[in-house]
Structure 1
């Protein structure tokens, strides 16, 4: 079953995902599967349970110090519990910054911070601006 899940994850990875080394001029974002990506179309925020994902991402800028884009934050309301919950999508501006060396590939810089700004509605109990520390 693990092999099937891995194969499925590889099959649905965005076209911009790269297992190799992206252009050195651009920093990368590291996904839940420890793959480097440049301008991903979607990005999983909740690696453990999949209940929060950025989707329909469109990047207006991607460089070696920062990246900016827009998309939707798809969040499971977990009502009455997560397995029975519904996903709701909220428009967001996404910012990536604070590049640092990636332990897996020290020659690459990877973004270490992701900031979301909700532009039209947001999940309950969620502030308008949210910052995530990204994994290595």
Structure 2
């Protein structure tokens, strides 16, 4: 029983470190203005991350905020405008076999589409994308459709 407890603590600590690292990696690249700076200087919507930070064109993004068992990486944005955003990247998904703490992260190439911008509840002067779609261009995780569409948090 003690081994299981220690293993759980180590796994949770590793997940916290991973989440912290991805939060840093998911920030807007250096040299780009903060998406909320100047409210109205740019009418392009933002993507709100797990830490309630607005982002524009992030290179990484956590999809499963609670456990980071699904995350996007290596995002290369071809479009980011007032209606939608499109990127190519990789979705890393934990297969959770035999259970999530012992699972293996597998990578799947995806096309990411953000749309349905609306005012952000935290800052109504800023629009944020409210829906994300992932199109798996090759293999996909077990139980996933080729196109997965889900609402984003507000």
Determine if the alignment matches structure 1 residue 78 to structure 2 residue 96.
Answer: yes
Q: How many angstroms apart in 2 are the aligned matches of 1:51 and 1:10?
A: 12
Question: For 1:100, which of 96, 118, 133 is the aligned residue?
Answer: 118
CA contact (8 A) 2:22 2:60 kept: no
The unaligned stretches of length 5 or more in structure 1 are: none
**Residue in 2 that maps onto 1:61:** 79
Q: How many angstroms apart in 1 are the aligned matches of 2:83 and 2:134?
A: 17
Q: How many angstroms apart in 1 are the aligned matches of 2:22 and 2:107?
A: 24
* Structure-2 change in CA distance of 1:116 and 1:31 (3 Å): same
**Residue in 2 that maps onto 1:16:** 28
Higher relative helix content:
2
SS of corresponding position for 1:12: helix
Q: How does 1:1-136 map to 2 (within 5 A)?
A: 8=20, 12-16=24-28, 21-22=36-37, 23-136=41-154
* Structure-2 change in CA distance of 1:10 and 1:71 (3 Å): closer
Q: Give the alignment's TM-score, normalised by structure 2.
A: 0.78
Cα shift readout 1:59-93 (whole Å, capped 9, x = no counterpart): 00101110001000100001111011110000000
Higher relative strand content:
1
| Aligned pairs, number | 132
CA contact (8 A) 1:100 1:112 kept: yes
The unaligned stretches of length 5 or more in structure 2 are: 1-12
Cα shift readout 1:1-21 (whole Å, capped 9, x = no counterpart): 9xx96xx45972434177661
Q: How many angstroms apart in 2 are the aligned matches of 1:11 and 1:117?
A: 23
